Amino acid sequence: MNDRAFVEEQIASIRETVGNGIAINALSGGVDSSVVTVLGHRSLGDRLKTVFIDNALMRKGEPEQVVKIFSKMRIPVQLVDARAEFLSALKGLTDPEEKRHAVTHTFYSKVFGRLVRQTGATFLLHGTILTDIEETVAGIKRQHNILAQVGIDPEKEYGYKVLEPLQTLRKDGVRRVAKILGLPAEITKRIPFPGPALATRIVGEVTEERLEIVREATAIVEKKLAKTRAFQYMAVLLKDKATGIRENKREFGQIIVVRCINSVDARTATPTKLSWEKLHRISKQITSIKGVNRCLYDLTPKPPATIEYI
Ligand code: XMP
């Protein structure tokens, strides 16, 4: 099926399934949820309620930026502040799957459950793509947005039905559809950013203080590597610490890993060859973040590594 036919078919299908009902969807600003927002909006108009949930795990200035981009397209987005709920759900957790579960549960059950009751929505439009389903089913990783495929019945557990219009597409397909829908380049060209957001960029416990460090490092890496046109680039805060020297004093400081990879669909990936000078500049800036005294560059392809660290 060509991409335009795909768009028409999905719009018709969402209209038919939702009927006169109300649907809700969570926008993160990533290309998947952005495409779902536009498809849903074209299908249902103001019977689609789009929310941006601030989970405390977003990048610098991200919530406001995303709301602004969509308001330019005349799609209203409600910003929901759920920072405290997510931080408290993540408190004390260090196991990757437990952290993912905490984010999923807080998102779908607590925050979303409440929003669904408030809006009267009976359908959730969801940006699940084929790769998410495949990796979860294969047991590689529980992607945050997978429900039915891991035996969760959202209607029974959370009180709403889930529609997944992108479940036959991979990332490259979603980007093509995004262009057809007229989404701006800042969305279509956006590098992938996972649902559990900066929680996947912190090995070990997620705290406000550690989020602040990785948020700062992420801003540096994204700015410095924007021109590489790599598939994805990121900063990761490790759980270990290392000895260093700051202002002539010994410091047991944090370690940030920089990862920059090339990939077509995230199923496999290879590290990007960056110039020594660029790596030096990044390292210098990252180690100027308070408490960070080491910066490493990750040379591992996928497999054996995954792209994210948790
Ligand atoms: P991994 O780490 O599994 O990542 O090699 C593959 C791609 O998926 C993104 N990713 C996620 N995206 N929810 C998402 O929406 C998630 O839970 C999630 N985990 C990983 C990752 O950034 C990469 O592009």
Q: Is the dihedral of CA 78, 79, 84, 85 positive or negative?
A: positive
Question: Does residue 66 surpass a pLDDT of 70?
Answer: yes
φ, ψ for residue 257, nearest 5 deg: -105, 135
Ligand 1 closest atom vs CA 135: 3
- What local confidence, expressed as pLDDT, does residue 141 receive? 61
Residue identifier of the C-alpha nearest atom 11 of ligand 1: 194
3-state secondary structure of 272: coil
List the one residue out of 222, 202, 210, 234 whose CA is nearest residue 291.
210
Query: Using CA positions, which residue lies closest to atom 12 of ligand 1?
Result: 194
Judge contact between 131 and 171, C-beta under 8 A. yes
d(CA 73, CA 178): 13
273: DSSP letter: -
Q: Per-residue pLDDT for 233 more than 90?
A: yes
The residue whose CA has the least distance to atom 4 of ligand 1 is: 307
- H/E stretch holding 10: helix 3-18
Mutate which of 31, 135, 141 to test ligand 1's pocket (most atoms within 8 Å of Cβ)? 141
Given a cut of 60, is residue 150 above it in pLDDT? no
**Ligand 1 pocket test, candidate residues 35, 101, 106, 143, most atoms within 8 A of CB:** 143
**Closest C-alpha residue for ligand 1 atom 20:** 194
What is the best residue among 129, 200, 231, 300 to mutate for testing ligand 1's pocket, by most ligand atoms within 8 Å of CB? 200
Whole-number average pLDDT of the chain: 92
Residue 190 has pLDDT above 70, yes or no: yes
Residues in the chain: 310
Report how far ligand 1's centroid is from the alpha carbon of 279 (Å): 24
Stated pTM of the model:
0.88
Measured from the Cα of 308, ligand 1's closest atom is 2
| Range list of β-strands (E), the chain | 23-26, 48-54, 77-81, 123-125, 161-163, 232-246, 249-262, 270-271, 292-297
The alpha carbon of 309 and the centre of ligand 1 are apart by a number of angstroms equal to 10
pLDDT in tens, 35-46: 999 999 999 999
Q: How far is the CA of 308 from the centre of ligand 1 (A)?
A: 6
Tell me which residues have their CB closer than 6 angstroms to ligand 1.
135, 141, 143-145, 192, 194-196, 200, 232, 266, 302, 306-308
Please state, in angstroms and rounded to a whole number, the distance separating the CA atoms of residues 114 and 120: 10
**Sheet of strand 48-54: strand arrangement:** 77-81, 48-54, 23-26, 123-125, 161-163
Q: Is 40 helix (H, G, I), strand (E, B) or coil?
A: helix
pLDDT for position 265: 80
CA distance 278 to 291: 22
What is the reported pLDDT for 171? Answer: 85
Alpha carbons 178 and 250: distance in angstroms, whole number:
50
Centroid of ligand 1 to alpha carbon of 64 (angstroms): 23
Map tokens 């909006």 to a residue. 41
- Average pLDDT on 173-191 reads 92
